[in-house]
Structure 1
């Protein structure tokens, strides 16, 4: 009898300590750990999971990482992935490391925010368009509801609340920018084609054509030539990159430098829920200022 009692006591301790999920992570009750690949996915996901008990959202990459072009997974990243039930990615080719992740963790549930959204020349920067951000938010909510149906009504409600905010943002931005349709802009890298399409702007040139590398002298010369021939008076840099090349172009052409933010960096905190809305409003105001002065 003592032996049976001891076995029962051990079993009770095991169940009290939680269970191991499909990836081997220890869980308490029905807690679900959702990891996001980088900051834009984090902001969208915390809006969808806001107030949902037992759902924890963690951003995998450091909040200042920026776009995941050629990103290499770290040991810390892989350790975090081992604790996850669900991973939210932008998709569209942004997370080139996912083949490795899924090979090592075949039972990890994957949410692709780019599902069924047409790409422009294989460009993955979908979220920089408010319209696409709305589609991505809906994608995340739908796929998360399928994975975790017990909380589907909460996900759907949160999704509706956030989409309403994004629709309001979109309307306000169009009111500010529609009067400048057809304007040509020089951007720092290939983050803004979807934004330009949504607001009928034309990207005349891109300064940093290969992310993370300085433009060649020939590329600089070509961009300078475009600015001089077109009469463009503004260059738009990004806070995530050095403005060295832009400063050179500005010196040569007299074009003034402004800053547009693709929203790939920030503080990964619960209070970041409105970060996307704030930065897009600021982008619209920056464009209005640049266009109205030139």
Structure 2
């Protein structure tokens, strides 16, 4: 009887082990990546994951995290430097967005850095400072994707063909969206807008929009009562019909200005934060197109 029980027990144990193996509950050692890519922040991360999508052995990480937003006054952490020390390639936006780069290159002189802003036409403010929010323009974004694809192929020859194939697929999607956006937005009668952050000059230039005023040049600041009053007077006198806030930041000032001026408030997304979805940028720009169609008709 004991022998029969033992055989039954052994058989059940073998069956459980087999089921666990088939269902994946047996712990496996993760494959060590052969090429590690670190990106500075979310927009560049989305570019990189599209180009590296489905390529075995290539790991892409986002240093600042998906919800950090623009790197205004970003302070490097010791964990950032540690992560960068093991990276094979560090992809940055460039154009001054990563103000901490001197520290990175001083401490990690052998780190290969890929600046995605190469050959992207710059926009400067009245003081001559370069605006780094170039990815918000879909045409600038396309150049950045091309730069990253070329840089990845140069740094990692093993996967060069795959990088090119992935970038070709992504670029086609971007170009199709750009065409549809121009078809939808170019005929709109109203071109004047009010924004609350310096994120949209490239986008405005792309679609021939006139930014009458930027209320908050820095997203973490709040306009004074005097600035709010001036914005309200400007909207009333200029006939601006739409005020655009950003989903990443506090919108109380935008709501006050819209209520007091009679303008409508909308949300325009610079795609500086978002989900871990390869289509995140495409989805954000699609939504922006729909929003502008409603706001400027």
Range class of TM-score, shorter chain = 0.7 to 0.9
* Range moving further from structure 2, 242-251 or 256-265: 242-251
Of 83, 86, 97, the residue aligned with 1:83 is 86
1:185 is paired with a residue whose SS is strand
* Range moving further from structure 2, 245-254 or 278-287: 245-254
Q: Following the alignment from structure 1 to structure 2, what is the Cα–Cα distance between the partners of residues 181 and 46?
A: 37
- 1:144 Cα shift? 1.3
TM-score (norm 2): 0.85
Of 38, 42, 49, the residue aligned with 2:41 is 38
- Residues 122-157 of structure 1 show CA distances to partners (whole Å, capped at 9, x for unaligned) of 011111011011000000011111111221111111
Residue of structure 1 in register with 2:60 after alignment: 57
- 1:254 Cα shift? 1.5
Residue of structure 2 in register with 1:120 after alignment: 123
Residue of structure 1 in register with 2:127 after alignment: none
Residue of structure 2 in register with 1:258 after alignment: 266
1:235 is paired with a residue whose SS is strand
Residue of structure 1 in register with 2:73 after alignment: 70
Q: Following the alignment from structure 2 to structure 1, what is the Cα–Cα distance between the partners of residues 189 and 118?
A: 29
Q: Following the alignment from structure 2 to structure 1, what is the Cα–Cα distance between the partners of residues 104 and 160?
A: 26
1:162 is paired with a residue whose SS is helix
Residue of structure 1 in register with 2:27 after alignment: none
List gaps (5 residues or longer) in structure 2.
1-30, 125-129
Residue of structure 2 in register with 1:279 after alignment: 284
* Range moving further from structure 2, 220-229 or 88-97: 220-229
Of 103, 107, 118, the residue aligned with 1:104 is 107
Q: Following the alignment from structure 1 to structure 2, what is the Cα–Cα distance between the partners of residues 61 and 89?
A: 11
Alignment of 1:119-138 (within 5 A): 119-121=122-124, 122-138=130-146
- 1:182 Cα shift? 6.0
Q: Is the 8 A contact 1:182 1:202 kept in 2?
A: no
CA RMSD, aligned part only?
A: 1.6
* Range moving further from structure 2, 122-131 or 174-183: 174-183
Q: Is the 8 A contact 1:258 1:290 kept in 2?
A: yes
2:47 is paired with a residue whose SS is helix
Higher radius of gyration, 1 or 2: 2
Q: Is the 8 A contact 1:48 1:141 kept in 2?
A: yes
Q: Does 1:207 align with 2:210?
A: no
* Range moving further from structure 2, 102-111 or 70-79: 70-79
What is the number of residues matched between the two proteins?
Answer: 263
Distance 1:118 1:182, change over 3 A: farther
Residue of structure 2 in register with 1:189 after alignment: 197
Q: Following the alignment from structure 1 to structure 2, what is the Cα–Cα distance between the partners of residues 182 and 287?
A: 10
* Range moving further from structure 2, 279-288 or 48-57: 48-57
Q: Is the 8 A contact 1:176 1:288 kept in 2?
A: yes
List gaps (5 residues or longer) in structure 1.
1-27
Q: Following the alignment from structure 1 to structure 2, what is the Cα–Cα distance between the partners of residues 149 and 181?
A: 49
- Residues 42-94 of structure 1 show CA distances to partners (whole Å, capped at 9, x for unaligned) of 11001111122211001111211000011111222222212211111000000
Residue of structure 1 in register with 2:240 after alignment: 232
Q: Is the 8 A contact 1:209 1:215 kept in 2?
A: no
2:212 is paired with a residue whose SS is strand
